[in-house]
Amino acid sequence: MHNLLRCRRGSAAFATVAALVPLIGVVALGAEAGSWYVTKQHAQNAADAAAISGGLRLRCSVIAQTDVTQPCTDTNSVDYRAKQFAAQNAFCNAGDISYPGSQCVATLPTGTSQTVQINSLTSWNGVNGNFVQAIVSQQQPVYLAAVLGMSIVNIGATAIARVDLQPKPPCILALEGSASFQGSATISSPNCGIASNSTASNAFDFTGNGGLNINAPSFSVGGCSQTGGNQCDNVTTYAASVPNPLSGLDSAMSSLTTANFSGPCGSTDAKGKFTPILTAYTPTTPCYNTGSPSGVLNGTYFFNGSVTISGNTTISGTANLILFGGATLSISGNPSIQLTASTNPQVPSALSSVQSLMNDLLIYDPETTKNLQPVAVTGDSNSYFNGIVYVPNSPVTYTGNSSVTAPSPGCFEVIAYAVAFSGNTNLDATKCIQDGTGIKQPPQPVRLVQ
């Protein structure tokens, strides 16, 4: 008996069993915590899906309010769409399980409950905009974790989606360069905005602050720079790019040559002297112009060569001014220009496939001067441009100080490589929208910001 009591055989087994008890407890606690982590991931998926879906529905309704050509056909609310997609990821409020595709169950385990909360926000993290917030949570009892003094655990997730939406379609579009403002420019825009597709840090560039008054929604793919003031506060940066609605013109216009016409517009006298005569293009007068426009215009005018509008030139009427084949445009001084674009341009057969794109097109200038002198668009205090000015390969400087407004509804849009403003400008895209022409409301993305 004495020897049996002194025997140490089996002592290691007792020690191992004693050590396994807390070890098994820790492993079990880890397994329970692991299940919480899995639930957390599922909750985050539900919150992300809810925020994105709610954001898509919000975008639909805001676009419909500003662009009659894009009505919102979804009759359900932002709250409904967000909760629907939360339900498709198995998270619902109590008794709210009837959404299409719902993965929620009618009865949760004892002590378990879920909540789904959707909020539409006009600002987040100090940034104004359109946001949808989804807060998803699940409360459930604990088991082994009760030894730590816990009785329940709340597992939650939050997602916020931002709708990068232009509240109004742009009527000024800088295709590659910046949209810049200097001096005492005043931009008044009742129903359209300003956009820049530049990715540079100064995609919107405000030089000086005295007198600048930009009353138009402003968006840029890149950033915004300013010299004093707080103009950049009203610019939405790092937004989606705006599609060029007239890009289809470029290829057809670049292939247009004098061979597509009967010859220059004008007459030759008995001595062989040629005199240019400004003539609108028609099937019976299929010529191109070599001079500069003046007087009252009516129709579509094609120009080849140097086109200069300067001094006290007076131009009015309804017309399309189309440059081709290396032609250049120069507007200087204080001419009086009151032009409205034609909605039924007459064109050579080489342009028949893109004729519809030329409705409301007032000026087309394809010249390439990206790093040279920009094309100036100016006039006296009585001037206005009522149509689309399209200069895809060159910057445009608009220095007008018009005190008059174009006929209403108007269609004044500028689409150019880059756009700079230094005078007073009244913008109006009402007629462009009604005619289905010009810059469209882009399908802006909905993205998670949290």
The one-letter amino acid code at 177 reads G
Residue of 419, 249, 214 whose CA lies nearest to 347? 249
pLDDT at 31 over 90: no
Residue 23: what pLDDT?
Answer: 45
Instruction: With H, G, I as helix, E, B as strand and everything else as coil, classify residue 226.
Output: strand
What SS3 state is found at 26? helix
9 DSSP 8-state letter = T
At residue 266, the pLDDT reads: 87
pLDDT classification of 47: cutoffs 50, 70, 90: very high
Cβ–Cβ < 8 Å for 417, 174: yes
Evaluate if residue 120 carries a pLDDT over 70: yes
The percentage of residues in the chain with a pLDDT greater than 90, rounded to a whole number, is 19
- Tokens read off for 59: 């975008």
- What is the pLDDT, as a whole number, of residue 403? 47
The pLDDT of 30-39, averaged and rounded, is 73
The structure tokens listed for 202 are 């100064």
CB 96 within 8 A of CB 117: no
Question: What is the average pLDDT across 202-218?
Answer: 70
Using alpha carbons, select from 58, 81, 62 the residue that is nearest to residue 71: 62
Kindly report the average pLDDT of the chain as a whole number. Answer: 80
Residue 149 φ/ψ region, left for φ over 0, alpha for ψ in the -120 to 50 degree band, beta for the rest: left
Per-residue confidence at 348, pLDDT binned at 50, 70, 90? very high
CA distance 183 to 206: 9
d(CA 84, CA 46) in angstroms, rounded, equals: 10
| Tokens 């720079």 -> residue | 225
* 329-335-338-342 Cα dihedral, nearest 10 degrees: -20
Span of 122-126, 162-166, 286-290 with lowest mean pLDDT: 162-166
Residue 172 is given by DSSP the state E
Q: DSSP readout, 123-161? A: EETTEEEEEEEEEEEEEEE-SGGGGGT--EEEEEEEEEE
141-189, pLDDT tens digit by residue? 876 655 555 667 888 899 999 887 666 778 889 999 888 887 666 676 7
Residue with tokens 């009892």: 141
Give the three-class secondary structure for 29.
helix
Q: What is the pairing mode between strands 274-276 and 204-206?
A: unpaired
Which letter does DSSP use for residue 374 in this model? Answer: P
Q: How many residues does the chain have?
A: 450
Copy the structure tokens of residue 382.
């009585």
Which pLDDT score is estimated for 83?
A: 93
Q: Quote the CA–CA distance of 162 and 25 in Å, as a whole number.
A: 45
pLDDT digits (tens, 9 = 90+) for 355-406: 888 888 999 988 876 555 667 776 666 677 888 889 998 888 877 655 455 6
Whether residue 21 is predicted with pLDDT greater than 50 in this model: the reply is: no
CA-nearest of 39, 35, 82 to 58 is 82
Instruction: Identify the three-state secondary structure at position 205.
Output: strand
What sections of 278-406 are H helices per DSSP?
none
DSSP 104-122: --SSPPTT-EEEEEEEEEE
Domains of the chain, residue spans: 18-163, 170-444
DSSP secondary structure code for residue 256 in this structure: -
HEC letters along 50-82: HHHHHHHHHHHHHHHHHCCCCCCCCCCCHHHHH
Q: Enter the tokens of residue 357.
A: 């794109």
How much is the pTM? 0.70
